[in-house]
Amino acid sequence: LCLSMSGPGVSASAAPTLLKEALSSRQGTVSVIHVNSHNPVKRYFQISNDKADPAAKEVWTLQEAHQLHESLHIRPKALANRCRISTAEAKHVVATCPHCQK
């Protein structure tokens, strides 16, 4: 999984490296499980999954904002509206664009 995440066509995120390091340095058992998030009874895994989903969505949303800005170079306000991110986050995306800093 870690190797395929770091291959061509995948974001240059540090996530695959961090995941590989965490798995390599583990001292206990690691289990990958499917969490049935549609279960009306909320137990430990469903509650944890409910917390993880918004955090993961935020990361993907920022990646989408970077990709959109790289292709269209739109201004922060439009970027914030389109990607549903804060104006501060959109300004940061624009500020880190080498093309827009020329």
Q: What is the pLDDT of residues 46-66, one digit of tens each?
A: 888 888 777 777 766 888 899
- The more confidently predicted of residues 32 and 78 is 78
pLDDT at position 1: 55
Query: Which positions ≥6 away from 56 have C-beta within 8 Å?
Result: none
Per-residue pLDDT band for 2 (boundaries 50, 70, 90) equals low
Place of tokens 């439009």: 78
pLDDT at position 12: 58
Q: Return the closest-CA partner of residue 36 out of 25, 47, 26.
A: 47
Q: What is the pLDDT of residues 25-48, one digit of tens each?
A: 888 887 777 777 777 778 877 888
Alpha-carbon distances of 50 from 35, 64, 68, 98, rounded to whole Å:
10, 22, 27, 36
